[in-house]
Amino acid sequence: MHDAAGNPLFQQLVDQLQHAFHTVYRDPIGAPQLGTSSLRLHLPLAEAIRNGHSDRAVALMNEIIGLVAEETRIGVGELSHE
């Protein structure tokens, strides 16, 4: 799309956004392991969704969010003490 626009500023903006998103995804808040504690729950979540077990899927999603939120709080806390 940015190539078709023929606008070099648009290309530059897209490139910068892609770099920023990649950096945040790869190493959020300076914690490359962020979210890994929840990985064990992803397959059971997918299975619950596939099997139509919405209550189980909601419970697993809440657990995943809780784990990642706690890791984020710890990571942000460590950053604020540097």
User: pLDDT by residue (tens digit) across 12-61?
Assistant: 888 887 776 666 556 555 656 667 889 899 999 999 999 999 999 999 99
26 and 58 belong to one structural domain: no
Distance (Å, whole) CA 44 – CA 67: 15
Kindly give, in sequence order, each residue whose CB lies less than 8 Å from that of residue 37, ignoring residues fewer than 6 positions away: 67, 68, 71
14 and 37 belong to one structural domain: no
Total tally of structural domains belonging to the chain: 2
pLDDT band at 3 (very low <50, low <70, confident <90, very high): low
20 and 59 belong to one structural domain: no
* Residue 43 in tokens: 């397959």
Does 2 score more than 60 pLDDT? Answer: no
16 and 37 belong to one structural domain: no
38 and 71 belong to one structural domain: yes
Give the per-residue pLDDT at 23.
Answer: 62
37 and 72 belong to one structural domain: yes
45 and 82 belong to one structural domain: yes
26 and 37 belong to one structural domain: no
Give the per-residue pLDDT at 15.
Answer: 81
* Residue 34 in tokens: 């962020």
Give the per-residue pLDDT at 64.
Answer: 92
Q: Which domain holds residue 39?
A: 33-82
Say which DSSP state 27 is in.
S
Distance (Å, whole) CA 2 – CA 10: 6
Distance (Å, whole) CA 50 – CA 57: 9
